[in-house]
Structure 1
């Protein structure tokens, strides 16, 4: 989810993968894996990306956090019920 969003932002801003990787001080292969959802972005990466793309930090962090939560519960049988319970108790 967050990887697809970052890729869309990168492409919309005509930034090459290698250019964005350099701005984030990371390996191009690592960023590629992050965009494909094979590796996770760190919170620090999301903060940096919000600045680079001039996006609201809250929006990107919300997508990032939702992605983390979904990856944790995706294979659980009662994931939907558990998420509903958690939301209703916050």
Structure 2
């Protein structure tokens, strides 16, 4: 079952999700999401449907899949990362 299938099942087949639903899915406060949207910093494209701000469910699923596929590590590179980079440079030289 894909992320899209799970979201469609959980939200009864709705193809758009409102900001409240998106905030709940991402684990953010709704006001934080609205602030990010107004600053054009929200990672998921939203649009107005009437007077409501919504996003397509497939865009939300794609964002979740993308974030879970590439965890970001903060801080300096580990010794293993440095060694792997050095080996890659030697191979390409």
Compute the TM-score of the two structures, normalised by the length of structure 2: 0.29
Q: Mark the structure with the bigger radius of gyration.
A: 2
Please identify which structure carries the higher strand content.
Answer: 2
Please identify which structure carries the higher helix content.
Answer: 1
